[in-house]
Amino acid sequence: MDSIMLSVSTALSSFLHTHQVENATFHFNQPPSAELLDSVSRWFDQPKSKSRKRISGPLLAGDTRLFAKSQLLESLKSRLRVTLGRQTADGRYDWAVEELHNTLAASQRGIPSPSIIGFGYIRRGLGLVQETLLLTELLDGYCDGQDWLEQHPQRVQWFVEHALELLQRSNAKGIYHMDFSALNIMLDENNAEPMKVIDMENCFVGPTPYSAETLAFQTGFLYRRGLYKFITEADYDSLVYRMTQRDDVEISRFEALYDVCKHENIGRKERRRIFLEGGL
């Protein structure tokens, strides 16, 4: 097995159609058309730079409509880790591998999210992986929660209630999204439901003894990252506390972090500490 796949080996059972195009390797869940192979190969030809190391957008190939996201691995350390299937010092994989792993886990556990169609990587120089690619279904007719609320500000209570339901359902299935914001919630522009969550690279998969503290961060983050523009803090708190009462959240542990996370920027290291240790 290719070393890069050791970190995501569970993916191979669903992505058996492997294609090599020059120095690029692609894995698909269905046999790809020649048009699709040509399109994904040309995707890697786009110019990259330090200021443009992540590229995402629609990828169209005949009747196939996908969403592509690629990332350039800048440092030698990150290229070695991804090539060899190694983790970082804090026990996580690089973001490109994390997103693949977490999106697969979310799909397998029934979390509404875009389905993965395929993924790939390109080797250059010494044979190290230099760039990765993730292909998911294109959510045609969807918009993110921020745009949707700007069009439907009168439905903010409905949005918050359903976003909190999606968050709790995801947590209950062991998928803890640590970038859960309106921008990462997608809604059908016509029907609004079902909501789908995207951008899974910053998630934890598995249980935590600090679910109340993690929920406090997630709900605080959701408010801080945009919802404050559409709903008063008091009304938001009312909806959040209704959820905590319904789901028997240990309120003292929840309140120890909730207000802080609503009003202060919590970086990724601190988010990891909340999930693993229950505090900042």
142-277: CATH topology is Transferase(Phosphotransferase); domain 1 (1.10.510)
Where helices occur in the chain by DSSP H, the ranges are 34-43, 76-84, 95-108, 145-151, 156-172, 211-224, 233-246, 251-263, 268-277
Residue 7: alpha-carbon gap to chain centroid? 17
What is the length of the chain?
Answer: 280
**What CA–CA distance (Å, rounded) separates 205 from 109?**
10
pTM of the model: 0.90
* Diameter of the chain measured on Cα atoms: 58
What confidence score (pLDDT) does residue 3 get? 47
What confidence score (pLDDT) does residue 87 get? 84
- Average pLDDT of the residues in 168-173: 97
**What CA–CA distance (Å, rounded) separates 139 from 210?**
33
| Mean pLDDT taken over the chain | 90
- CB 117 within 8 Å of CB 93: no
Question: Position of tokens 């803890």?
Answer: 176
Instruction: Report the percentage of the chain scoring pLDDT > 90.
Output: 70
What confidence score (pLDDT) does residue 178 get? 98
At residue 187, the 3 state secondary structure works out as strand
Q: Give per-residue pLDDT as tens, 2-24.
A: 544 445 555 567 788 999 888 88
CA distances from 91 to 40, 75, 204, 276 (A): 31, 18, 12, 12
Q: Give per-residue pLDDT as tens, 261-276.
A: 999 999 999 999 999 9
- Of 10, 11, 27, which is closest to residue 19 (Cα–Cα)? 27
Domain segments of the chain: what residues?
Answer: 3-137, 142-277
